[in-house]
Structure 1
Amino acid sequence: MQALITALLWVSAIGCGLIAGLYFAFSTFIMTALDRIGHAQGAAAMNSINSTILGSLFMPLFFGTTIASAVLAVLALFRWSEPGAAAMLAGGLIYVVGMFICTVVYNVPLNNELARAGTGSAEVWTRYLKDWTFWNHVRTIASKAAMVSFIAAIAVRGGAQGVPT
């Protein structure tokens, strides 16, 4: 069980880091670049990104990291006396709530609204850009915080201890 937990911690930390990096790119320059090309072109590009990402390798990473993080949170409750349990619980909850639930409740509905509006509505694009980017900042911070929590749990547990070679 120790080897499984350690492996899940590594998978989750790396997955959170990859997702945090992608979200960071969107928050810091991609959305700004899309806005600079005008609402019709920006909306068209974002709609293309949103439809393309659904069939990409991002989706297994997105769902796999979410499942691993949730499992770690549950395992932490059952292994509360073990080193790193609090960091595992924190990482799992931060990621599932701050990234996954935020995505489902805020970003996906905004994506769906943008897709329905097409490229003709400057008003929808302006609202989308502001709201989507705000919630993406939340996802970025949550993903990064979860990654740090999982790395802290790895460190407290002894790094690669328990991982078969």
Structure 2
Amino acid sequence: MKILTITMIFLSLTLNAAIFGFFFAWVCSTMWGLDAADPRVAIEAMQAMNASVRNAVFAPAFFGTPVALGLTAILLYIRSHHLSAAAFAGAAVTYFCLGLVLTMMVNVPMNEALAGVTVSGDAEEARRIWSDYSGRWQVWNQIRSIGSLTAFLLALAGVLRIDPRSI
């Protein structure tokens, strides 16, 4: 049980850090770069990135983070690390709501709507489409970035509450 608990703590922190890093990269580089590009190029690039993100490398971090955090909370609770278990449970709920659910309810529908856009040669029309999309998308991405960082910090706080001699 000790090895399983340690493994799950490591897996939880790794998956959570990976998904935070993914969301954060969009905040501090990807969207700024797309906003600086010709809107026709930005739309096509975003369509391509959204189409490619559904893959076996991304899925474990996106879908697995709340599962790993929740299972870790259960293992810690069973091992009588109740404060740590509560922190991991809080992390699981935080990421689930502000990362996974938010993405599925807001960012994915926005991405699907953008996927249906045919980029024409009209630069002004493309600028309007991109401007309407990018600003709203970035606000929600910042929220999910903060949510996934908060989840990571909660899990880290849970780790710091564990007496290494008692695990």
Asked if TM exceeds 0.5, the reply is yes
State how far apart, in whole Å, the 2-side matches of 1:95 and 1:55 are. Answer: 20
Aligned AA (2:156): I
Q: Which residue of 1 aligns with 2:84?
A: 84
Equivalent residues of 2:110, 2:137 under 8 A apart: yes
CA RMSD of aligned residues (A): 2.5
* Percent identity (aligned): 27
Structure 1 gaps of 5+ residues are none
Q: Which residue of 1 aligns with 2:143?
A: 138
Q: In structure 2, do the counterparts of structure 1 residues 54 and 131 end up closer, same or farther at CA, with 3 Å as the change threshold? A: same
| TM-score using structure 2 length | 0.83
Structure with the greater alpha carbon radius of gyration: 2
- 1:125 CA drift (Å): 1.8
State how far apart, in whole Å, the 2-side matches of 1:16 and 1:160 are. Answer: 25
| TM-score using structure 1 length | 0.84
State how far apart, in whole Å, the 2-side matches of 1:39 and 1:22 are. Answer: 23
Equivalent residues of 1:95, 1:143 under 8 A apart: yes
Say which structure, 1 or 2, has more relative contact order (CA 8 Å, 6+ apart). 1
- 1:122 CA drift (Å): 3.2
**Stretch of structure 1 that moved more, 7-16 or 104-113:** 7-16
Structure 2 gaps of 5+ residues are 121-125
Aligned with 1:157: secondary structure? coil
1:1-165 matches, cutoff 5 A: 1-72=1-72, 82-120=82-120, 121-158=126-163, 162=167
Q: In structure 2, do the counterparts of structure 1 residues 10 and 42 end up closer, same or farther at CA, with 3 Å as the change threshold? A: same
